[in-house]
Amino acid sequence: MSDRVPILRIGQVLLVSIQIDLEDQTVLDLQDDLAERIVATGAGGVVIDITALEIVDSFVGRMLANTAAISRMLDAETVVVGMRPAVAITLVELGLSLGGVRTALTLDKGLALLERDRTARTARP
C-alpha cells in the first residue's frame, strides 16, 4: 500500500536517498528491503542520504541504528550522510546519539569513507 523508498546500486555500494516525509511503515519496509538487498547483491557498503529529511525522530533514528547493526552483521558498512544541523541538534536534545552509525557530511564524503574502509580491509592479511 505505502510507497517504498528506492534502493540504488552503484558498484559495491547500495544507495538510499530519502526524499519524502516517511510514514512509519515505509521506514520499516526500508529496513527490511535493505537487509534483503545487501544479501542479494553482496554489497559491501550502504549509504543512506538524509539531506532532504527535515526531521529525524526516535523511530527513524532507531531504523538508522538498526540498519547499521544489521548491515554490519551482513558484512556491509553503513554510512548516513547529509544530516542537517537542525536535525543533529534535535537528535542530541532528544537523547539519541545513533551509537554505531557512521556519518559523513556529504554523499561524496560518505562514498569516500566506504572506499577507504574497503581498501583498509582488503589490505589486511
Distance from C-alpha of 91 to C-alpha of 50, rounded to nearest angstrom: 14
Distance from C-alpha of 65 to C-alpha of 21, rounded to nearest angstrom: 19
Q: State the residue for C-alpha cell 550522510.
A: 81
Using the rule CB under 8 A, give the single segment among 6-14, 34-42, 75-83, 117-125 that binds other proteins: 75-83
Binding other proteins by CB under 8 A: which of 46, 48, 98, 114?
98
Binding other proteins by CB under 8 A: which of 6, 97, 100, 121?
97
Q: Does 81 bind other proteins (CB under 8 A)?
A: yes
Residue list 1-40, contact with other proteins (CB under 8 A): 2, 21-25
| Axis-axis angle for helices 85-94, 58-73 (nearest 10) | 90
The identity of residue 5, as a single letter, is V
What is the binding site for other proteins (CB under 8 A)? 2, 21-25, 54-59, 61-62, 80-81, 83-98, 102-106, 109-110
